Homo-oligomer: A and B are copies of this chain.
Amino acid sequence: MLRLTKKADYGLMALKYLAEQQTLAASIRNGANPAQSAKDIAEAYHIPPQLLAKILQTLAKAGLLVSHAGTNGGYSLARSAHDITAFEVIRAIDGPLFITSCITIHGTCDLAGHCTIKEPLRKVNDSIKDLLNGIRISDLIDPAETNPSAALAGGLVSIGL
């Protein structure tokens, strides 16, 4: 259930890595972000390099990363790490799929007429979306600074159906 694809997992890892490198370069050195290459990130996490490359491509196309080709090229964050949510990353990689399996690109599924649980599930969907929206890349780096607005801290989250 609710399986988050490995690609999205890798993507989040890569984003976190880039954010770390960026803040580290901004504080210690004064140079601009050094545009980590896909291969570097892949080796840092021991994941298939070419697969990560494709993920980064997707992320770049989605506007979350900027790519720089050529020697010493690579990727760097398009926005601040504090300004990118986990939801954006996941949606960029896994597409706009949602839990109800009815919400497809073609609009309604063939059961739309007699499906009785569509609305409640949509609410659940929205809640999960909000949950993910409350998580920023910067939160992944330092778990202590999680923002208190998202009830991520282990509290029971209730939704009104």
Contacts and interface: CB of A to CB of B under 8 A. Distances in A.
Interface of A: 1-6, 8-9, 12-13, 16-17, 44-47, 86, 90-91, 93-102, 111, 114-117, 119-121, 123-124, 126-135, 139-140, 143, 146-161
Contacts of A129: 157, 159
Nearest to A113: B46
A1 B93 CA distance: 9
Contacts of A128: 2, 128, 131
5 contacts: A120-B140, A128-B128, A129-B159, A131-B152, A134-B158
Given A3-B98, A111-B47, A117-B12, A131 B127 contact: yes
Nearest to A7: B101
Contacts of A5: 1, 101
Contacts of A117: 9, 12-13, 16, 140
B13 A116 contact: yes
A115 B4 CA distance: 15
Nearest to A15: B117
Given A6-B101, A101-B4, A130-B156, A161 B149 contact: no
Given A123-B152, A129-B159, A134-B156, 19 more contacts: A1-B5, A2-B90, A2-B99, A3-B99, A4-B101, A13-B115, A45-B111, A86-B124, A116-B140, A127-B131, A128-B131, A129-B157, A130-B152, A134-B157, A134-B159, A146-B159, A147-B158, A149-B154, A149-B156
